[in-house]
Amino acid sequence: MVRAVSAKNFRSFALNTLFAGVGGATFYAANPPIACWPLSFFSLALLFLISLHARPKSAFLFGWIWGAFYFYLLFDWAEIAASLLAARLA
């Protein structure tokens, strides 16, 4: 079933999608390279707030985008940690 999307709903969806990406990026900033740990609370609260009144499919998408941003940004830190571990084992 295809539903018509109003401009207001599209704007809200687009903003929530943007906030999901920002939330994932701020959760990354709470990890060791930047290590601003209070951002983790802000990031998780942001994810909760954008998913609170969303439909289940939209909430899943927001969570997926949040996690994708966090995971993609975390790759750099994981590469640094793996190279340090390899250097210690060699």
Dihedral of alpha carbons 6, 9, 13, 15, sign: positive
List, in sequence order, every beta strand (DSSP E) within the chain: none
The model's pLDDT over 26-54, given as tens digits with 9 standing for 90+, comes to 999 998 878 999 999 999 999 999 999 89
Using an 8 Å Cβ cutoff, are 30 and 37 in contact?
Answer: yes
Q: Which helix (H) or strand (E) holds 47?
A: helix 39-52
2 pLDDT above the threshold of 60: no
Report the predicted TM-score, pTM, of the whole model to 2 decimal places.
Answer: 0.78
Residues 13-30 pLDDT 10s: 999 999 999 999 999 999
Average pLDDT for the chain: 87
